[in-house]
A = this chain, B = another copy of it.
Amino acid sequence: MSQVHVFNVKMTCEGCSGAVNRVLGKLPEVTNIEIDMEGQKVLVTSTLGSDAILAKIQKTGRECSYAGGKN
């Protein structure tokens, strides 16, 4: 089942948010990505677990952490 996961991700410009968006957008299990640059949050709708998504975001070289699920 698809869930919305929220992640804290350090992003400072459009290049930063674009990179995160591109990496997550390549995952077929990700159906929606919302980036809140001001709040330094990324909301990911996916059937994947939060660990798998977090690992992918970490590969972009950014500081990030799991902020919890959203219903």
Docked pose: A15 CA to B15 CA in angstroms: 9
Docked pose: A50 CA to B59 CA in angstroms: 18
Contact of A15 with B23 at beta-carbon distance under 8 Å, contacts A59-B60, A60-B59, A60-B60 already known: no
- A16 at interface, CB cutoff 8 A: yes
Docked pose: A3 CA to B56 CA in angstroms: 29
A and B contact pairs by CB, cutoff 8 A, 21 listed:
A10-B15, A11-B15, A12-B13, A12-B14, A13-B13, A13-B15, A13-B16, A15-B16, A16-B16, A16-B19, A18-B61, A19-B19, A19-B60, A19-B61, A20-B61, A21-B61, A22-B61, A22-B62, A23-B59, A23-B60, A59-B60
